[in-house]
Amino acid sequence: MPQRTAEHTDIRPATEEDIAELVRLRALLFEDLGGAYFNPSSGDGSWQDALAVVLKEQLATEGTRILVVDGDRGLAACAIGSVEQRLPGPHLCNGRVGLVIGVVTDPAHRRRGHSRSLMRGLLDWFRERAVARVDLYASHEGEPLYRDLGFVDHPDPALYWRP
């Protein structure tokens, strides 16, 4: 059942029938981000097969929400969020953290409010799950939208390690 938002964009939860399109949109996201980290020269595309398997698994869980906007031929946009249970602390009273894993709109459907509608849908879902905080990594193009929705600079320094 589609959800109507202020921008008049119909969003709905993804289904297994959307998996191929979700993989296509996720690949677009990485193309847009560019660079060797997101598009390594050694990449053979097998990540897309693995992504399809994980998306199918995640669609069946309560801890992940995948919202989509239908386009003329396939999906126009999607947003993926998850809830992670961390250890509670003074900065995370219940330890529940939301993560926006990705928001992407097909280039032919951009500038129509789809990302804003999808994000509002995800933020409502996070509120229903009483998350203490929602984290995301913003592209340069997406940052103004996220700031407009209330996101601010994260107080924790971010580092990563790859084995």
DSSP codes joined into one string, 65-104: EEEEEE-SSSEEEEEEEEEEE---BTTBSS-EEEEEEEEE
Average pLDDT, integer, range 137-159: 90
Tens digit of each residue's pLDDT (9 = 90 or more) over 83-124 = 999 999 998 899 999 999 999 999 999 999 999 999 999 999
Structural domains in the chain plus CATH codes? 9-148 (3.40.630.30)
Look at the pTM and tell me if it is higher than 0.95. no
Identify residue 36 by its one-letter amino acid code.
A
Instruction: Give pLDDT, residue 141.
Output: 87
Q: Are 69 and 9 in contact (CB under 8 A)?
A: yes
Percentage of the chain with pLDDT > 90? 70
**5 has a pLDDT exceeding 80:** no
